[in-house]
């Protein structure tokens, strides 16, 4: 736990970021692959693991269930021996309440290994309601009994084991897709999951499950077919790169007029981001080792973006890019369709000098899931506007990184408070900023 002074980063902005940084495996895959290890009474080895807090949260949760976890942060290797699994006390599990969204994904594996699971209150970024109704409906369809009445969390049992079922997701939720995959691989019989999400992190989880012995296919209409098997074995796997972290550094390069080589960044998972980056006027060069992103000089161009599920423009890319859009010449529009409340981070940007207006109504003919809810989910950004340093509070993971970019873009000093929240998903960001020449303290 950091003390209050350690939780503030003093940033003197106005200097372009220049240099090379390395990005490792994806936060939104690594944690799920660690949960998958729980499905097999053997040893699994995961490589290219970033040194982020979410990895430690999942390790601690696995350990509470009697599983041996070794995290070699320097080498980026996590070894999980899940031969022995036990049910911890509610009080023990509760020590991790509110720390991430991953505990809900323990449901399927624990039901297979122990016949029951206790899920504490979930955490994760505060960017909308984030209900788990799809998760619980899926588990029920597979034969689980869900008791939500427990004061500290949710108790789930499967007295007769899990059985394959036909499941349709009302929205292609990443977590609910992963929930179904993790629960169905060992369920008796076949499961059909339609309306699923097919993010690259999900497909890498499918690759892990296939290595473990699972039978999973996916149709072009985003329907997964899972044939339950009787047992699975441990895996060895190298995690795909974190495309959100890579895009965050790319946005930082653009906003600060910089030039950053992101070692490890890969093109296929970033194609949609790269198209937008090019439309704005950013330049990039793709090599086998990574992608170099830079501001070529001259004016950046405005753009209209709608966030969406894969292969659309990721909601997690939106926040860092908005800061770069404050430096583009003209009117940009960002319409958020995944989370109803993901623009809170723009308020400090306005205090720093940006012109950002939020609207509840959907703009033009854009589809809108949140029309009826009282949230503003379209941002209109007018630029370029010079930013000046301020005191800023980190609201959430990506919003926090956006504030760092804003502080680096601004003239004068900024104090960014609550900086440790960023450790959830950005490994050694302080070291990387220093390597890129940022003036931080």
Ligand X SMILES: C=C(OP(=O)(O)O)C(=O)O
Ligand Y SMILES: CC(=O)N[C@H]1[C@@H](OP(=O)(O)OP(=O)(O)OC[C@H]2O[C@@H](n3ccc(=O)[nH]c3=O)[C@H](O)[C@@H]2O)O[C@H](CO)[C@@H](O)[C@@H]1O
The three-class DSSP label of residue 182 is helix
Q: Is 55 in the site for ligand X (CB under 6 A)?
A: no
Contact set for ligand Y, span 160-179 (CB under 6 A): 171, 173-176
Is 61 a residue that touches ligand Y (CB under 6 A)?
A: no
Whether residue 22 is annotated as binding a ligand: the answer is no
The interface partner of residue 383, options being ligand Y, ligand X, none and the CB cut-off 5 to 8 Å by kind, is none
Query: Which structure tokens are listed for 390?
Result: 């301020």
- Cα distance between residue 93 and residue 222, in whole Å: 34
State yes or no: residue 339 binds ligand Y (CB under 6 A).
yes
Q: Is 368 designated active site?
A: no
Q: Does 101 bind ligand X (CB under 6 A)?
A: yes
Q: Find out whether 48 is annotated in a ligand binding site.
A: no
DSSP annotation string for 202-237: HHHHHHHHHHHT-EEEE-TTS-EEEE--S-----EE
Site string for ligand Y, 368-397 (x = CB under 6 A): ------------------------------
- Give me the DSSP letters along 32-82: HHHHHGGGSSSEEEEES----HHHHHHHHHHHHTT-EEEEETTTTEEEEE-
Which among 225, 317, 326 has a CA at the least distance from the CA of 273?
Answer: 317
User: What is the Cα gyration radius of the chain?
Assistant: 22
Q: By beta-carbon distance, which residue lies closest to ligand Y?
A: 175
Residue 125 in the binding site for ligand X (CB under 6 A): yes
Q: How far is the CB of 287 from ligand X (least distance, A)?
A: 26
Give the count of residues interacting with ligand X (CB under 6 A): 10
CB of 396 to ligand X, least distance (A): 7
β partners of residue 382:
331, 355
Q: Does 132 bind ligand Y (CB under 6 A)?
A: yes
Q: Which is nearer to ligand X, 262 or 397 (CB)?
A: 397
Q: Which of 9, 55, 82, 125 is catalytic?
A: 125
DSSP-assigned letters across all residues of 249-307: HHHHHHHTT-EEEEET--SGGGHHHHHHHHHHT-EEEE-SSEEEEE--SSPBPP-EEEB
The contact set with ligand Y (CB under 6 A) reads 28, 101, 128-135, 171, 173-176, 315-316, 338-339
The contact set with ligand X (CB under 6 A) reads 27-28, 100-101, 124-125, 316, 397-398, 425
Report, as residue numbers or ranges, the catalytic residues: 125
């Amino acid at each position: 736990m950091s003390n209050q002074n350690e939780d503030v980063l003093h940033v003197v902005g106005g200097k372009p970021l220049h240099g090379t940084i390395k990005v490792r495996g994806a936060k939104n895959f690594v944690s799920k692959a660690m949960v998958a290890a729980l499905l097999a009474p053997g040893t699994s080895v995961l490589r290219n693991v970033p040194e982020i807090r979410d990895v430690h949260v999942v390790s601690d949760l696995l350990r509470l269930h009697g599983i041996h976890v070794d995290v070699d942060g320097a080498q980026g290797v996590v070894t999980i021996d899940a031969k022995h699994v036990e049910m911890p006390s509610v009080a023990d599990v509760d020590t991790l309440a509110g720390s991430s969204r991953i505990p809900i994904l323990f449901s399927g594996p624990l039901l297979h290994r122990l016949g029951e699971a206790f899920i504490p209150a979930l955490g994760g970024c505060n960017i909308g309601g984030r209900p788990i109704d799809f998760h619980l409906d899926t588990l029920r369809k597979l034969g689980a009994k869900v008791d939500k009445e427990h004061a500290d969390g949710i108790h789930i049992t499967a007295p007769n084991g899990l059985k394959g079922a036909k499941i349709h997701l009302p929205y292609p939720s990443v977590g609910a897709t992963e929930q179904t995959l993790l629960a169905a691989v060992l369920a008796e019989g076949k499961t059909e999951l339609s309306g699923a999400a097919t993010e690259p992190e999900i497909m890498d989880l499918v690759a892990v499950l296939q290595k473990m012995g699972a039978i999973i296919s996916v149709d072009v209409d985003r329907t997964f077919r899972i044939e339950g098997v009787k047992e699975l074995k441990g895996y060895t796997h190298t995690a795909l790169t974190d495309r959100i972290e890579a895009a965050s550094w790319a946005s930082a390069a653009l906003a600060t007029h910089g030039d950053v080589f992101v070692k490890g960044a890969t093109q296929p998972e970033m194609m949609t981001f790269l198209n937008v980056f090019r439309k704005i006027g950013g330049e990039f060069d793709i090599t086998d080792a990574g992608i170099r992103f830079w501001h070529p000089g001259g004016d950046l161009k405005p753009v209209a973006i709608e966030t969406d599920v894969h292969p659309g423009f990721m909601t997690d890319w939106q926040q860092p890019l908005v800061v770069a859009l404050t430096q583009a010449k003209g009117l940009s529009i960002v319409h958020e369709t995944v989370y109803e409340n993901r623009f809170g981070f723009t308020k400090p940007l306005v205090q720093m000098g940006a012109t950002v207006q939020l609207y509840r109504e959907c703009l033009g003919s854009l589809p809108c899931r949140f029309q009826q809810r009282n949230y503003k989910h379209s941002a209109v950004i007018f630029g370029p506007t010079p930013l000046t340093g301020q005191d800023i509070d980190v609201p959430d993971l990506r919003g926090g990184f956006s504030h760092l970019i804003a502080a680096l873009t601004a003239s004068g000093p900024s104090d960014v408070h609550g900086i440790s929240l960023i450790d959830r998903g950005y490994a050694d960001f302080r070291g990387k900023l220093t390597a890129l020449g940022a003036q931080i303290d």
